C-alpha cells in the first residue's frame, strides 16, 4: 500500500518536473521566469519563502529578481556579495539543505520584515551554475522544521541547470544590463566609508550598504529590512538595539515630513563603547512628495574620545597649573612690597626665592608630564638605550628621595650590580615615580621596601609600602590616564604618573602591575622588563 502511494507520488512529481522543464525555457524575461518557477514549484514543495537571484561575476553583485513571502511579493533590490547565507551558497557553489535552522543553521544577518513571527526553519538553497560559472541562486524556505526531504532537494537540483541555461539565454538582452546599472550605484555606495541606510516613505529600511551591515550586524539578532526603524516587532528592533531605534526616531520623523536632520548621536555600550552619529536627508518623488530618504551613519567614537581627553586635559592643567602660579604671584607681590618699604631682609628674600624655585620646579614637572603624556599617546616615546646599572640607579634615586621625608624608612634589596640595555633617564623616572607615590600615599609614614631580582633574562622590581592601600575594584584602573583612587584626591597628583610609567615600560618591552590587600593594607607596585630589547 505504502509502496503504491509512494510510486504514485513519484509519478506526479516526474510529470510535473517534465512540464516545468519544458516551460522554463519559454520565459520571455527573468520576471516571468521567477513567477513561473514559484507557481509550478508550489505544486511540489513548500514555497512559503521563495527567492530568485541573479549573480554578476564581474561586479560581484547579486540582483534579487523577486522574493515571495507567504504569498506576498516583496521588493527585490541588489547587494554586493557578502558573508550572508545567499552569498555563501554563491561563493561555495554548494547547495544547502537546512532541516532545522534554529538548531543547526547559520546566523541570519539581514532579513525582511513579514507578518510571520520568527525566522524560516528549513531551506533548500541552490547555486545556479552554467559550466563552472555561477549565474544565480534559487532559495526555497519554510517556517516548518524538516519541511524538505531528499526528494525535494533532488527536484530543485534537477531543475537548476535548466533555470541557469534560461537565465544565460535571457541575460544578454536584459539581465546583465540591469545588474550592471544597479551595480554602479551599489559600487559607489559600497566604496563609501560611512554606513548608509535607504528608507522608504514609511521609514522602513529599503537597503543598506556593507559598512552599515558591519556597524549594525553585531549589535543584535540581525537587520530587518522592510520594518519601520522606530518600530519594535516581536521583541526585535530593525537595527538590533533599542538605543539605535530611539536615537533614529527623530531622524525618521523628520524624513517623513520631508525635512533633513543632522548629527543625532547615540552611545552604545554592547560590544565595547561606540558612539554613532546619524544624519538624514529627505528624498522627494516626481510630485515633490516626501518619499523617504537616506541616513548616513558615522562612527565618531574616536573623535568623542579625543574630545573627552582634551576636556580632561584642559580642566586638569588649568587647575593644577593655577596653584603654583598663584603662589608665585603672591611671593613676587610680597617681595615687591618689602622692597618698596625698604624692609626686605636677606633671610626673608632667600626663603621667598626658595619657595619660588620650588614652585617653578613643580610647574616644569607638570609640563614635562603633559609632554610625556602626548608622547605616550602618539607612541613617540623615543628611547636612548645604553648600558645601565639598575641597582645603582635605584640607590641614587632612593638617596635623593629619602631626603624628602623623615617619616619614612626606605630599604633597598638589590644585587650589587644589575646591568641591562635601557633608557636610564626614563627608567629613573619610573623608579622615582613609584617611590614618591609610596611616600605620598603613606601619609602616616612607615617602611618602604624596594626590591630588584633577575632570572638572567628579565628583571623584576617592586616597591612595597605600608600606606593607604588600594581597594580591589580600583586595581585594574590605576594605569588609566587621569585615574585617581577616591579618597586620595586631597593629596597632590594628576593621575598621569602611572600611565606614563606604563608607556615607558611598554616601550622597553616590559609591563607594570599593582597589588594590595585593600584599603589601609599597604600596596606593592612591580614592574618587569627584559635585560636587553
Confirm if 61 and 76 have CB atoms less than 8 A apart.
no
Shortest Å, Cβ 429 to ligand ADP: 11
- Contacts with ligand ADP by CB under 6 A: the residue count is 21
Mind giving me the DSSP string for 354-414?
HHHHHHHHHHHHHHHHHHHHHHHHHT------EEEEHHHHHHHHHHHHHTT-SSEEEEEE-
432 makes contact with ligand ADP (CB under 6 A): no
Beta bridge partners of 208: 197
Pairwise CA distance, residues 417 & 508, whole Å: 20
| Distance in angstroms (rounded) separating the CA atoms of residues 523 and 449 | 11
Degrees (nearest 5) of the Cα angle 52, 148, 134? 35
**Which is closer to ligand ADP, CB of 57 or CB of 492?**
492
CB of 399 to ligand ADP, least distance (A): 20
Question: Residue 220 interacts with ligand ADP (CB under 6 A)?
Answer: no
Region 287-316 residues binding ligand ADP, contact defined as CB under 6 A: none
Q: Segment contacting ligand ADP (CB under 6 A): 145-153, 243-251, 435-443, 447-455?
A: 435-443
Work out whether 324 is an interface residue with ligand ADP (CB under 6 A). Answer: no
* Neighbour tally for 154: CB within 10 Å: 13
Residue 441 binds ligand ADP (CB under 6 A): yes
Whole-angstrom distance, CA of residue 242 vs CA of residue 232: 8
Find where cell 616615546 sits.
Answer: 381
From the list 133-141, 151-159, 431-439, 505-513, the region that binds ligand ADP by CB under 6 A is: 431-439
Q: Is 496 in the site for ligand ADP (CB under 6 A)?
A: yes
Cα 261 from Cα 251, distance rounded (Å): 6
The total number of residues shown for the chain amounts to 533
Q: How far is the CB of 457 from ligand ADP (least distance, A)?
A: 28
Residue closer to ligand ADP by CB (options 98, 430) is 430
Which of 254, 278, 257, 255 has the alpha carbon at shortest distance from 266?
A: 278
The stretch near ligand ADP (CB under 6 A) out of 240-248, 305-313, 394-402, 485-493 is 485-493
CB of 406 to ligand ADP, least distance (A): 19
Is the Cβ–Cβ distance between 209 and 190 less than 8 Å?
A: yes
447 or 484, CB closer to ligand ADP?
484
Judged by CB under 6 A, which of 484, 506, 526, 531 binds ligand ADP? 484
Instruction: Say if CB 324 and CB 363 are below 8 A apart.
Output: yes
Q: Which of 255, 488, 503, 527 binds ligand ADP (CB under 6 A)?
A: 488
Is 117 or 425 the residue whose CB approaches ligand ADP more closely?
425
Taking the least distance from each CB to ligand ADP, the nearer of 24 and 485 is 485
Q: How far apart are CA 224 and CA 232, in angstroms?
A: 10
Shortest Å distance, C-beta 371 to ligand ADP: 15
- Which of 20, 170, 468, 507 is in the footprint of ligand ADP by CB under 6 A? 468
For the chain, how many helices (H) and strands (E)? 13, 21
The smaller minimum CB distance to ligand ADP, of residues 86 and 514, is found at 514
What minimum distance in Å lies between the beta carbon of 434 and ligand ADP?
7
Q: Which is nearer to ligand ADP, 461 or 498 (CB)?
A: 498
User: What span, in angstroms and rounded, lies between the C-alpha atoms of 90 and 57?
Assistant: 10
Can residue 437 be called a binding residue for ligand ADP (CB under 6 A)? Answer: yes
Please, what sign has the CA dihedral across residues 117, 118, 122, 126?
positive
**Of 485, 504, 512, 529, which lies in the binding site for ligand ADP, with binding defined by CB under 6 A?**
485
| SS3 of the chain: helix, strand, coil, percent, to 5 | 45, 25, 30
Choices 31-39, 275-283, 417-425, 490-498; region in contact with ligand ADP by CB under 6 A: 490-498
- The reply on whether position 429 binds ligand ADP by CB under 6 A is no
Closest approach, Cβ 402 to ligand ADP, in A, equals 16
Please identify which residue in 495, 506, 530, 533 interacts with ligand ADP, judged by CB under 6 A.
Answer: 495
- For residues 205 and 189, the answer to whether their CB atoms sit within 8 Å is no
53, 120, 497, 503: which one binds ligand ADP (CB under 6 A): 497
**Site for ligand ADP contains 494 (CB under 6 A):** yes
Helix boundaries (H) for 257-345: 301-340
Q: Are strands 110-112 and 223-225 parallel, antiparallel or unpaired?
A: parallel
Q: Which is nearer to ligand ADP, 152 or 372 (CB)?
A: 372
Name the residue nearer to ligand ADP (CB basis): 128 or 512.
512
Smallest distance, Å, CB 397 to ligand ADP? 15
Q: 141: how many CB neighbours lie within 10 A of its CB?
A: 23
Q: What is the DSSP letter of 49?
A: E
Judged by CB under 6 A, the stretch of 91-99, 126-134, 373-381, 432-440 that binds ligand ADP is 432-440
- The residue (of 227 and 359) whose beta carbon lies closer to ligand ADP is 359
* Torsion on CA atoms 4, 8, 11, 15, rounded to nearest 10: 170
- Does 498 participate in binding ligand ADP (rule CB under 6 A)? yes
Cα torsion angle, 202, 207, 210, 214, sign: positive
Among the listed residues 40, 320, 423, 465, the single contact to ligand ADP using CB under 6 A = 465
Strand-pairing partners, residue 389, are 419
Q: Which residues of the shown chain bind ligand ADP in the complex (CB under 6 A)? A: 433, 437-438, 441, 465, 467-468, 470, 478, 483-485, 488, 493-499, 523
Amino acid at each position: 500500500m505504502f509502496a503504491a502511494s509512494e510510486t504514485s507520488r513519484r509519478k506526479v512529481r516526474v510529470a510535473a518536473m517534465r512540464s516545468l522543464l519544458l516551460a522554463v525555457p519559454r520565459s520571455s524575461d527573468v520576471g516571468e521566469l521567477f513567477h513561473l518557477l514559484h507557481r509550478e514549484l508550489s505544486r511540489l514543495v513548500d514555497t512559503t519563502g521563495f527567492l530568485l537571484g541573479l549573480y554578476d561575476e564581474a561586479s560581484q553583485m547579486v540582483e534579487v529578481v523577486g522574493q515571495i513571502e507567504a504569498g506576498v511579493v516583496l521588493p527585490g533590490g541588489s547587494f554586493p556579495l557578502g558573508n550572508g547565507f545567499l552569498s555563501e551558497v554563491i561563493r561555495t557553489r554548494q547547495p544547502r539543505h537546512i532541516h532545522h535552522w534554529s538548531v543547526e543553521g547559520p546566523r541570519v544577518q539581514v532579513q525582511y520584515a513579514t507578518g510571520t513571527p520568527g525566522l524560516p526553519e528549513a531551506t533548500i538553497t541552490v547555486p545556479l551554475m552554467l559550466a563552472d560559472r555561477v549565474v544565480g541562486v534559487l532559495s526555497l524556505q519554510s517556517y516548518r522544521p524538516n519541511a524538505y526531504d531528499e526528494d525535494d532537494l533532488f527536484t530543485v537540483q534537477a531543475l537548476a541547470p535548466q533555470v541557469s541555461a534560461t537565465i544565460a539565454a535571457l541575460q544578454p538582452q536584459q539581465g546583465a544590463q540591469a545588474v550592471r546599472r544597479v551595480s554602479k550605484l551599489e559600487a559607489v555606495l559600497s566604496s563609501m566609508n560611512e554606513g548608509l541606510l535607504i528608507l522608504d516613505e514609511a521609514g522602513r529600511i529599503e537597503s543598506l550598504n556593507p559598512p552599515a551591515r558591519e556597524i549594525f550586524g553585531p549589535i543584535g539578532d540581525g537587520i530587518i529590512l522592510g520594518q519601520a526603524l522606530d518600530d519594535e516587532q516581536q521583541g526585535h528592533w530593525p537595527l538590533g538595539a533599542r538605543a539605535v531605534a530611539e536615537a533614529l526616531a527623530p531622524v525618521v520623523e523628520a524624513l517623513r515630513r520631508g525635512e533633513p536632520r543632522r548629527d543625532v548621536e547615540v552611545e552604545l555600550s554592547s560590544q565595547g563603547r561606540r558612539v554613532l552619529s546619524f544624519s538624514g536627508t529627505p528624498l522627494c518623488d516626481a510630485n515633490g512628495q516626501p518619499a523617504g530618504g537616506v541616513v548616513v551613519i558615522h562612527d565618531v567614537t574616536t573623535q568623542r574620545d579625543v574630545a573627552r581627553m582634551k576636556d580632561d586635559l584642559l580642566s586638569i592643567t588649568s587647575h593644577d597649573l593655577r596653584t603654583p602660579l598663584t603662589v608665585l604671584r603672591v611671593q613676587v607681590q610680597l617681595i615687591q612690597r618689602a622692597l618698596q618699604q625698604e624692609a626686605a631682609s636677606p633671610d626673608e628674600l632667600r626663603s621667598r626665592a626658595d619657595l619660588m624655585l620650588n614652585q617653578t620646579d613643580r610647574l616644569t614637572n607638570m609640563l614635562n608630564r603633559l609632554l610625556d603624556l602626548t608622547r605616550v599617546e602618539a607612541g613617540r616615546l623615543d628611547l636612548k638605550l645604553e648600558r645601565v646599572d639598575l641597582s645603582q640607579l635605584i640607590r641614587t634615586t632612593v638617596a635623593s628621595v629619602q631626603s624628602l621625608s623623615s617619616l619614612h624608612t626606605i630599604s633597598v634589596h638589590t644585587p650589587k650590580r644589575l646591568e641591562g640595555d635601557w633608557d636610564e633617564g626614563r627608567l629613573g623616572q619610573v623608579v622615582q615615580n613609584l617611590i614618591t607615590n609610596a611616600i605620598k600615599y603613606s601619609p602616616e609614614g612607615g617602611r618602604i621596601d624596594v626590591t630588584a631580582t633577575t632570572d638572567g633574562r628579565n628583571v623584576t622590581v617592586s616597591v612595597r609600602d605600608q600606606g593607604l592601600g588600594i581597594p580591589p575594584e580600583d586595581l585594574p584602573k590605576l594605569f588609566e590616564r587621569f585615574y585617581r583612587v577616591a579618597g586620595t584626591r586631597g593629596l597632590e597628583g594628576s593621575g598621569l604618573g602611572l600611565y606614563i610609567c606604563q608607556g615607558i615600560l611598554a616601550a622597553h618591552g616590559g609591563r607594570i602591575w599593582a597589588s594590595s590587600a585593600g584599603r589601609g593594607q599597604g600596596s606593592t607596585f612591580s614592574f618587569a622588563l627584559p635585560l636587553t630589547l
